[in-house]
Chains A and B, each alone.
Chain A
Amino acid sequence: MSSLTIYKRELGSYFAQPTAYAIIVIFLLLSMGLAFSFGNFMRVGDSSLEWTFFFWHPWIFMLLAPAVGMRLWADEQRNGTIELLGTFPVSTSSAIIGKFVAAATVWLVALACTFPIVLTVNYLGNPDNGAILAGYIGSLLVCCTFLAITMLVSACTRDQVVCLIVSVLICVTMVLCGYDDFTRELGKAVSPSAIEAVVSFGVWNHFSSLNRGLFRLQDLVWFGSIILVSLLGTSAILSAKRS
């Protein structure tokens, strides 16, 4: 119940300020721009959206997701409103869940706004809409993972800029690790087992299978556990800061 109240406030706050609109517009410009330019959407004639559209999402999210999540706790700590929240009869975990789901909702709206491209491929070709749905779920999971990490960083600092820089750095690393070109270069310098470790930290293994329309339990567990660990970490940091 209290999670819902906090969720509504956070979501209201995103849409009362230009934040959500700016993020959604920039996301739409980038995702469509990349699909039509580097993605060669018109030329490849592929209606699955796998390479033309979803492929670009982790690259966009690694920069934009932290911009949505950075204020979640940093702002509360800077304004002192964390003291209000901490003395309301709500648990830290319900506040964390409310805030996290609110930030995820902003991204859900952003992703939903890309619906014209789904209509377009359905009009032009005969795509597997189940696979497209899986692609969207994969995108949202990557985004939620980045948001959860941003939230963890945001609990550590009261400075939004520091939070943004650190979270972007972590997200960029997660996107680069496991990206073929990057690991190939890295392979020249380090041992194969090290490469394997690096790849397992990257999002591609798990995102790509969903992107192909494949629901594998291991991917869901991977995304779920990173999100869960980040949220639990947020709770631990917030409690530790007070004692």
Chain B
Amino acid sequence: MIEVDSLTKHFGTKTAVDHLSFAVNKGEVLGFLGPNGAGKSTTMRMITGFFPPTSGDAKVCGISIVDRPAAAKAKIGYLPESAPLYRDMTVIGFLRFCAAIRGLSGNAKKDAVERAIDTCSLASVAAQSIDTLSKGYRHRTCLAQALLHDPEVLILDEPTDGLDPNQKHEVRQLIKRLGQTKAILFSTHILEEVEAACTRAVIVDRGRIVADGTPAQLVAQSGGGSLTDLFRTVTSRDTEAAH
């Protein structure tokens, strides 16, 4: 469902993503790991069509994001890293706007908004202004926006960042449940999350894939018996990267 083929992004002289290739199939939840600045968000922004790649291509359900951006974008639900929202709107107003911009109207729009509110447990704050919401609710509102059009592909950039343990658990369960019928790519810093929710994980470092496998395979590969050990051996630290 997601095919990333030799995707590369340069910012000036800096290479953020370096010939990255991987694929995510239907029913698969791929955990995208890596230190800060490894190129995770940049990769996601290229797959979702926000950044044009310097070279390479990403196909979503067989549609190239470079050649037919609008058609490919229609297949994707995306949660950006900081869960940005139009803060002057109410939750339901924002979701209605997102549904309309995705081409839904009438009853289809109404049903989609109701379903997203239900899935993300937003009923109690639906009429509230986004400005007044706590971080957890804001995050869930942005997640609801990604689910509105029932996309075949979900791309979630740090979906559990800044949530409390209960909310983290709920989001993981939601990802697991949705992963049965969709292709999901999500990035995280929390290594336990990979074991809890992913069917496969890749670790990227300085724009390249340095490890790829099921959580069990990665643990076995580590030698030391934990993902953290593997993560620390295969990725470079900030301080090293600076040299």
Bound together, the chains give a CA A79 to CA B80 distance in angstroms of 12
Q: Are A89 and B51 in contact (CB under 8 A)?
A: no
Bound together, the chains give a CA A87 to CA B157 distance in angstroms of 13
Closest residue of A by beta carbon distance from B90? A16
Interface string of A71-96 (1 = CB under 8 A from B): 00000000111011011111100000
Q: Are B86 and A87 in contact (CB under 8 A)?
A: no
Q: Are A88 and B102 in contact (CB under 8 A)?
A: yes
User: Which residues of the other chain, A, contact B70 by a CB distance below 8 angstroms?
Assistant: 89-91
Instruction: Determine which residue in A2, A12, A89 has the highest number of CB atoms from chain B within 10 A of its CB, and name it.
Output: A89
Select which of A9, A17, A87, A243 is within 8 A of B97 by beta carbon.
A9
Kindly state whether residue A5 has any CB partner on chain B within 8 Å: yes
Closest residue of A by beta carbon distance from B87? A79
User: Which residues of the other chain, A, contact B51 by a CB distance below 8 angstroms?
Assistant: 242-243
Q: Are A16 and B145 in contact (CB under 8 A)?
A: no
Bound together, the chains give a CA A5 to CA B109 distance in angstroms of 13
Q: Are B84 and A81 in contact (CB under 8 A)?
A: yes
Minimum CB–CB distance from A139 to chain B (whole Å) comes to 28
SS of A interface (majority): helix
Minimum CB–CB distance from B218 to chain A (whole Å) comes to 30
Select which of A1, A13, A83 is within 8 A of B45 by beta carbon.
A83
Q: How many residues of B contact A (CB 8 A)?
A: 29
Bound together, the chains give a CA A16 to CA B88 distance in angstroms of 7
Kindly state whether residue B100 has any CB partner on chain A within 8 Å: yes
Bound together, the chains give a CA A16 to CA B131 distance in angstroms of 13
Kindly state whether residue B242 has any CB partner on chain A within 8 Å: no
Bound together, the chains give a CA A55 to CA B81 distance in angstroms of 50
Minimum CB–CB distance from A241 to chain B (whole Å) comes to 10
Kindly state whether residue A62 has any CB partner on chain B within 8 Å: no
Assuming the A-B contacts A87-B49, A242-B51, are A81 and B103 also in contact, with contact meaning beta carbons closer than 8 angstroms in the complex?
Answer: no
Q: Are A243 and B52 in contact (CB under 8 A)?
A: yes
Select which of A13, A80, A83, A89 is within 8 A of B74 by beta carbon.
A89
Assuming the A-B contacts A2-B101, A9-B97, are A87 and B76 also in contact, with contact meaning beta carbons closer than 8 angstroms in the complex?
Answer: yes
Within A85-112, the residues touching B (CB, 8 Å) are 86-91
Q: Are A84 and B89 in contact (CB under 8 A)?
A: no
Q: Are B101 and A17 in contact (CB under 8 A)?
A: no
User: Which residues of the other chain, B, contact A35 by a CB distance below 8 angstroms?
Assistant: none
User: Which residues of the other chain, A, contact B80 by a CB distance below 8 angstroms?
Assistant: 80, 83-84, 87
Q: Are A86 and B49 in contact (CB under 8 A)?
A: yes
Q: Are B101 and A5 in contact (CB under 8 A)?
A: yes
Kindly state whether residue A6 has any CB partner on chain B within 8 Å: yes
Select which of A6, A83, A88 is within 8 A of B84 by beta carbon.
A83
Interface string of B42-54 (1 = CB under 8 A from A): 0001001111100
Bound together, the chains give a CA A83 to CA B87 distance in angstroms of 15
User: Which residues of the other chain, B, contact A91 by a CB distance below 8 angstroms?
Assistant: 70
Select which of A1, A9, A83 is within 8 A of B50 by beta carbon.
A83
Closest residue of A by beta carbon distance from B83? A80
Q: Are A17 and B88 in contact (CB under 8 A)?
A: yes
Interface string of A1-15 (1 = CB under 8 A from B): 110011011001100
Q: Are B52 and A89 in contact (CB under 8 A)?
A: no
Bound together, the chains give a CA A13 to CA B97 distance in angstroms of 12
Assuming the A-B contacts A13-B86, A242-B50, are A84 and B145 also in contact, with contact meaning beta carbons closer than 8 angstroms in the complex?
Answer: yes
Bound together, the chains give a CA A13 to CA B129 distance in angstroms of 12
Q: Are A79 and B88 in contact (CB under 8 A)?
A: no
Known contacts A88-B101, A88-B102, then 15 further A-B pairs from the complex at CB < 8 Å, ordered by chain A residue: A9-B86, A13-B86, A13-B89, A79-B87, A80-B84, A81-B85, A83-B45, A86-B49, A87-B50, A89-B69, A89-B70, A89-B103, A242-B50, A242-B52, A243-B52
Q: Can you list 23 pairs linking A and B with CB atoms under 8 Å apart?
A: A5-B100, A8-B97, A12-B93, A13-B86, A13-B89, A79-B84, A79-B86, A80-B84, A81-B84, A81-B86, A83-B80, A83-B84, A84-B84, A86-B50, A87-B49, A88-B73, A88-B98, A88-B102, A89-B102, A90-B101, A242-B51, A242-B52, A243-B51
